[in-house]
Structure 1
Amino acid sequence: MSTSHSPPTDGRAGAPALGGDGLLLRYGRTAVVHGVSLSLEAGRATALVGPNGSGKSTLLRALARLHPVQDGTVTLGGRDGGSGRAVSLLGARQFAREVTLFSQSRPAPQGLTVAEVVAFGRHPYRRGFAGLSARDRAAVDHAMAVTGVRDMAARGAGELSGGELQRVWLAACLAQDTGVVLLDEPTNHLDLRHQIETLDLVRDLVEDHGTAVGIVLHDLDHAARVADTLVLMHARRVHAAGRPADVLTADNIGAVYDIRVEVSVDPRTGRVRVDPVGRHPVPAGAPAPSTTPIRNREEPS
């Protein structure tokens, strides 16, 4: 998989699916996102990266209508690529059929099986207290299969480890079957194997289903692996945006993270690799200091 991914061939790529224009977001009187514009396109994955407090998770939540927008607009184009609609004018059920959010804060359900938790994703399609339709059951089964939790279907969700429960909630999001999927740190609490499987699943959504994906990640190597477009945020604004190879430069990373790095391209995969070499300037000829890698951080945004 290269850093420049091929879009699906059904014509959906490039159609604006969900976007924000000139967004101003606050916590109280403090602006945490200022004047940011962002467009998520069908058949493409957009990764938001940046230091803690840069506003990336808040921006994702605003696109999902979970954080108030003080200024600017969020619009939804729909699966057919039609003209944008202000999301504030859409009903909750209508919006939930178009956009789903995988958030960092998910409860540990008690008294429910894994299959019942995944079935939550079908709520926007159900009427009243009606049971699951054949289409609902098929969507739930498919979501459990692709996330690797089908064998847990009858287990109590409250008995699962943090990583297992993470995958169950991801399955619930996939069962929602929307054209836009927003993911806030989906690889947190997962072991290496399931981190990579989750990133590959994101690429499957993009390439096989033409889904518009917005994903927040701390790990820059993960972002380079999964994204068609990278948005590097710093000090409440977008510092750089574009192809991973254009955004993940030593200058950009140094300015945003205050750390010296070496950036290279893996000759086998074509992906960008970021390796830290120190926080402060090193005299010519001196050995690079030992540092803690900037990858695999799990602090909250």
Structure 2
Amino acid sequence: MSALETQALAVSYGNQFIFQDLNLSIDRGRITVLIGSNGCGKSTLLRTMARLLKPQQGNVLLEGQSIASMPTKEVAKRMALLPQGPSAPEGLTVLQLVKQGRYPYQSWLQQWSKEDERCVRQSLETTGMTELAERTVDSLSGGQRQRAWIAMVLAQGTDIVLLDEPTTYLDLTHQIEVLDLLYELNIQEQRTIVMVLHDINLACRYAHQIVAIQDHKVFAQGAPEDIVTADMIESVFHMKAQIIADPLFGTPLCVPHGNGRTIRQAVYA
């Protein structure tokens, strides 16, 4: 059974369809990365799978069950979403933020428990944020802040984690730090990770499966070495490129063509 599946999905804004008749299957216990040019619908697809957007037609299945028929808290116990560029109230500490991940488990009958405390403590340890727990979120560096948000998502205790561009606005060092953390969560805890990334080469390094979106449709889906080709890059990103093997990992490495060197030669000739 797939972790997530869309069946003949149709999503629109007003009269404009973003997706029509979209069928997609997300493998359980794997890392899936959505790639595509700006405006192709990657974030919309992620938000629809998380039930933040209601499709006009079709269905999203969460572990075989229609997500539309599930109670909100039940969905939140099985799937977590980290949106792009989340913001926290001023003065909120890391510990207070991470505790919010336990909200789906709270009720009038079920108040804060030892299990909640354990999950929060483990999430802080896993993300390396224990020593920063009393710091305010707005005082952290970009990489630390993103790890704090990931800790909150982990405290939610779900097997499926969706992330919308988790490396946006981070320098290369912090991008690798965040992606390494997500990779370790997948390997060690078998969490299903679905994320949107802009960097094709990082997507190839970390993904078991890549889904390329083009013209609001799934253009290609599969292992990076199977689908990341020069033809795919040109079709999806309208850019000529050469695909070579990453010298460290052996995964596809996209080397874009361009006229930048020609321009520089003309300027300095």
TM-score, normalised to structure 2's length? 0.92
Note the C-alpha offset of 1:191: 2.7
Richer in helix (by share) = 2
Deviation track 1:202-252 (CA, whole Å, cap 9, x = no partner) reads 222222222222110000011101111111111111111111012210011
| Structure 2 alignment gaps of length 5 or more | 265-269
Q: Answer yes or no: is 1:164 the counterpart of 2:120.
A: no
| 1:251-301 alpha-carbon deviations (Å, 9 max, x no partner) | 11011211111101124422111111127xxxxxxx96469xxxxxxxxxx
Distance in 2, matches of 1:258 and 1:63, equals: 27
Asked whether 1:111 is paired with 2:91, we answer yes
Q: Counterpart of 1:56?
A: 42
Q: Structure 1 residues 163 and 269, CA, compared in 2 at 3 Å: closer, same or farther?
A: closer
Cα distance between partner residues in 1 of 2:223 and 2:58? 25
Query: Any idea what SS the aligned residue of 1:21 has?
Result: strand
Structure 1 stretch displaced more, 255-264 or 266-275:
266-275
Give the corresponding residue for 1:188.
168
Within the candidate set 163, 166, 179, 1:199 is matched to: 179
Cα deviation, 1:139-174, whole Å, max 9, x if unaligned, reads: 112212222222210112233344432221111001
**SS of corresponding position for 2:3:** strand
Whether the 8 Å contact between 2:36 and 2:198 is mirrored in structure 1 is: yes
Give yes or no for the alignment of 1:241 onto 2:230.
Answer: no
Report what 1:20 is aligned to.
6
Please tell me whether the aligned partners of residues 183 and 206 of structure 2 are also in contact (alpha carbons under 8 angstroms): yes
Q: Tell me what 2:251 maps to.
A: 271
> Structure 1 residue 34: deviation in Å?
2.2
How far residue 190 of structure 1 moved from its aligned partner, in angstroms, is: 2.2
Equivalent residue, structure 1, for 2:102: 122
Question: Please, which moves more after superposition, 147-156 or 56-65?
Answer: 147-156
Relative to structure 1, is the Cα distance of residues 163 and 206 closer, same or farther in structure 2, using a 3 angstrom cutoff? closer
Deviates more, 1:265-274 or 1:222-231: 265-274
Secondary structure at the aligned position of 1:251 is classed as helix
Q: Which residue of 2 aligns with 1:30?
A: 16
Measured after TM superposition, the shift of residue 129 of structure 1 is 8.6
Partner of 1:150: 130
Q: CA deviation at 1:195?
A: 1.2
Instruction: From the superposition, tell whether residues 159 and 197 of structure 1 become closer, same or farther in structure 2 (CA, over 3 Å).
Output: closer
Contact 1:253–1:259 (CA<8 Å) still a contact in 2?
A: yes
Q: CA 1:290/1:133 → structure 2, altered by over 3 Å: closer, same or farther? A: farther
Q: Distance in 2 between matches of 1:288 and 1:275?
A: 14
Unaligned runs of 5+ in 1: 1-14, 78-83, 280-286, 292-301
In structure 2, how many angstroms separate the alpha carbons of the residues matched to 1:106 and 1:36? Answer: 28
| Residue 111 (structure 1) shift | 3.2
| Residues 36 and 238 in structure 1, CA contact (< 8 A), matched pair in contact too | yes
